[in-house]
Structure 1
Amino acid sequence: MEVTPASPSQGDVVTIRIAAQPEEEVAIIISFSKTLSVVDGKYEWILEDVQVPSTPNRVSVRAESVANVHISTKIIFLPITKSATATDGVVTISQGNVPIGTYDLRLHGYALPNATAVTLNVTASATVKTDSEGIYDYSYNTSNIPLGTFRVEAGSVKKTVNLNEKGSSPPPAHAELAIRDLSVYPPVSSVGSEIRVTAMVINTGERLEDRMIGFSIDREPYTEEQVSLESGESRYLDFSLTGLEEGWHVLTVMDSSRSFVVVPAQTEDTASRVFEQLKGVPSELVADILDSVSPKATSNETARELGLSEAIEVIESAVELGLTRPFSTLLLNMEKDEGATLLISVEPRGGSALLKSMYETDPQSCAALVEAATSLESTVVVEILDLVETDLLSQVLLEIARLPSTPSTVARLLEGMSPERVMAVARSWIDDGHLRELGLVLDEAPEEMLNTVTGNLEKEDQLLMLPHLLPETFAQIDPGLLTLPDLTVIDVSVDRSDAMKYLITVDIRNTGVEPTCVDVTLTVDGSRADTFTVDEIRGEEELTVEFHWE
């Protein structure tokens, strides 16, 4: 990743160049902090011309020392305010899939009593795809970033950038070496075999760097090599490791490291014996180790060979050691009903750990297995889901809702959860634009859940959700829970100016007390002919909308 200019001034547009695999999707994250003074118990930050260059995206604000936070803007002339109440002075508010465009934002709220300043931690992320050569240039305007440092992340690469005041002198040029593409292959090898190490060294600074690069094994020096690199120049280093003892080892060079394992040339241990050998081994290596040392531990026949009770004991032992990945793969590769039986037979804490690992491995297969487990024992699945984080819960249920004919499964699972968890899922789906899926689930939900969701949504979110419900579902909602605009059509008149032209006049009134906005749509023979947007109609106000139709 390269950031240009390397020492930008506030207001500059920085270009973040990413080099990755061709057509690879890469997450770009820009984060910074802003400290605001508290005046009369309140704080405020006005941001003008905030640019959203691409989608999908997400913006998150974590506010500290506050009682609440409000973010106000306009999207397509519609005033939007998103609010959240703090817990212990801290609150995070986020929005995903913001449409591409330029926005004026107002962040404001009340601080905690006696607080003199509040801190806002802002994170903006976007997912981009590199071109056929693996390159993507992402531009970001720094006008609204405070002076000081901000952080840029692209995939696993992180960089801190110093933002200078306009017209000030940048810091002096410096040299900086970094390690890229550190590899140890194979990650699992037998005693006496050769292990290859490769690493790319790159000079990310602005002047020549001449330095000795040292490699260590288990914190003991192993080898070193001299490098001399101009700014932007890179070089690959490679060598062999031999003579290492049985066990797991760590290779370290500068601030990068890789773990690998040396095993006996032949081992006949059973799965339970393998667990004893794996204590202390990094979990990311366990799948490779089990494949190398004891194929029985990761074969699709493991559960059948061990029997259900022993298989459960083995899996729970693995979870205790943090070794969930190989067994999440095992469950996903088994017959769906057998995998579902194992999932609900493991104690819920272990089941939640397996669920997280299964979702990271294959979200769709994970959803199908959870759906099958729900048909066997929904109460146990609810217990498992209650132990996972809200974000993961929302993602798993979303994948289930997208399976053919299974929105009813999601409704069944949500029915067994607390109203707080149900609302967390609903708000997450609305924020991320998954309104169709939410509508499908609520169409299958009992009336009590439908009213719980509707009654706890803000007006803007209700307006987003309601069009995705079936008419018979909408009819089940308690009217007292709806915060729809109190708009009444007073009169509609049609005047024909000639044989082909019509003037259609619509008089509307806001019978409520709060101002609102509305789209007045003219539909002829079932087809939309025209739409007029009323930016604001105040309480008790009347106005006239005219359509000219041919």
Structure 2
Amino acid sequence: MLFISLTALPPAAASSWELVPENPAVGNVIEIKGANFTGETAKVLVSFEKDVQVSDGRYEYLLEGVEIPSGFNNRFSVEAKGADDLNVRVKMILWISRTAKAEGGIARVSQSAVPPGTYRIRIDGKSSAPEVKLKITGLQQVKVDSGNFSYKYNTKSIPAGNFEIKVEDVTKQVTLHPAENLSSDVILSSDQTKESKKDFSKNWKAWSIWIGGILAGMLLVLLYSRIKKH
């Protein structure tokens, strides 16, 4: 009689990630460490909400020091609930604007393939409501090596309070504490700052092409509108 022994294979470990430090403060550089992820890349999404008061029918919110890391597999998006329209203005060499009208009380602007660098972003528009709820989201694809990855994110452009981090299908709510709790061991070092500037210079050509494409599009729209008038 032939006996066949079947040995159950251990289940594959589920993908997971941890945040370092676990209780960050505004200005901390947080590190997201992932394990047991499949594929060559993982999507890391960071989002937060901000209630902005409306004054004389207008709202405005300014983001300082928004860092876009190296690579162009990224997306920056803004959603404004209670707004009539939405303008997202990014200061590079010049101010470049994206505008959207609200549909169903929500206006959305999204931009992918943003060149790496540090930006100043102004969000504004019209609203007939007493306040506008903004949802600001940054998406970055990071490389996975043997199932693991490490991704660093500077929180200086995020206000204190709750924000969300989603890595593929794993989502966590994180509380960002006020800046007075800042610990020196997780502040962006001068070496990291130099490296960021180095990465930015490497991508200058692509950054210039990106701006040139936007300006070319604006010129085409202007030319088309003039031809249409005649």
The 2-side partners of 1:478 and 1:110 are apart by 25
1:134 is aligned, of 137, 140, 147, to: 147
Contact 1:20 1:130 in 2 (8 A): no
Residue aligning to 1:34 = 50
1:82/1:478 CA distance change after superposition, 3 Å: closer
* 1:395-442 alpha-carbon deviations (Å, 9 max, x no partner): xxxxxxxxxxxxxxxxxxxxxxxxxxxxxxxxxxxxxx8xx9xxxxxx
SS in 2 for 1:480: helix
- Cα 1:104–1:478 change in 2 (3 A) is closer
> TM-score, with normalisation over the residues of structure 2?
0.71
| Partner residue, 2:207 | none
Q: Which residue of 1 aligns with 2:14?
A: none
Matching residue of 1:59: 76
TM superposition shift of 1:128: 1.3
1:72 maps to which residue? 89
Deviation of the 1:89 alpha carbon? 2.1
Whether the 8 Å contact between 1:33 and 1:146 is mirrored in structure 2 is no
Matched, 1:461 2:208: no
Give the SS at the match of 2:79.
Answer: strand
Give CA deviations for 1:483-516 in whole Å, capped at 9, x if unaligned: xxxxxxxxxxxxxxxxxxxxxxxxxxxxxxxxxx
Q: Pick from 48, 56, 64 the counterpart of residue 48 of structure 1.
A: 64
**CA distance in structure 2 between the partners assigned to 1:67 and 1:116 by the alignment:** 12
Is 2:169 the counterpart of 1:163?
Answer: no
Higher Cα Rg, which structure = 1
1:64 to partner: Cα distance:
0.8
Correspondence 1:198-347 to 2 at 5 A: none
The C-alpha deviation readout for 1:138-167, integer Å capped at 9, x for no partner, is 111111212221111111211111111123
1:353-398 per-position Cα deviation (integer Å, ceiling 9, x unaligned): xxxxxxxxxxxxxxxxxxxxxxxxxxxxxxxxxxxxxxxxxxxxxx
Inter-CA distance 71–478: structure 2 relative to 1 (3 Å threshold): closer
Output aligned runs, 1:513-532, within 5 Å.
none
- The answer on whether the counterparts of 1:9 and 1:165 sit within 8 Å (CA) in structure 2 is yes
- Structure 1 residues 481, 128: closer, same or farther in 2, change over 3 A? farther
Letter in 1 for 2:161: G
Kindly report the root-mean-square deviation, in angstroms, between the aligned alpha carbons of the 2 structures.
Answer: 2.9
Correspondence for 1:480: 227
1:119 aligns with 2:167: no
- Give 1:144's aligned amino acid: S
The answer to whether 1:152 aligns with 2:165 is yes
- Cα distance in 2, alignment partners of residues 459 and 481 from structure 1: 20
Q: Secondary structure at the match of 1:167?
A: helix
Change (3 A) 1:13 1:478: closer
Distance (whole Å) between structure 2 residues aligned to residue 464 and residue 4 of structure 1: 47
Aligned to 2:8: none
Specify whether residues 74 and 168 from structure 1 end up closer, same or farther in structure 2 by C-alpha distance, changes over 3 A only: closer
- Equivalent-residue separation in structure 2 for 1:21 and 1:29 (angstroms): 15
Structure 1, unmatched stretches of 5+, are: 170-432, 437-457, 467-473, 483-550
Instruction: Tell me the secondary structure at the aligned position of residue 461 of structure 1.
Output: helix
In structure 2, what is the Cα distance between the partners aligned to 1:88 and 1:31? 22
Q: Please report the TM-score for the alignment, with normalisation by the length of structure 1.
A: 0.31
User: Could you list the per-position Cα deviations for residues 509-531 of structure 1 after superposition, in whole angstroms to 9, with x for gaps in the alignment?
Assistant: xxxxxxxxxxxxxxxxxxxxxxx
Q: What fraction of aligned residue pairs are identical, expressed as a percent?
A: 35
Change (3 A) 1:478 1:12: closer
Alignment pair present for 1:92 and 2:93: no
Higher relative contact order (CA 8 A, sep 6+): 2
CA distance 1:156–1:163, change in 2 (3 Å): same
Query: What residue ranges of structure 2 are gaps of 5+ in the alignment?
Result: 1-16, 183-209
- Give the aligned length: 184
Check whether the contact 1:31–1:121 (CA below 8 A) recurs between aligned residues.
yes
* 4+ residue segments displaced more than 6 Å: none
Post-superposition shift, 1:459?
6.5
Aligned-partner Cα distance in 2 for 1:36–1:102: 23
SS of 1:82's partner is: strand
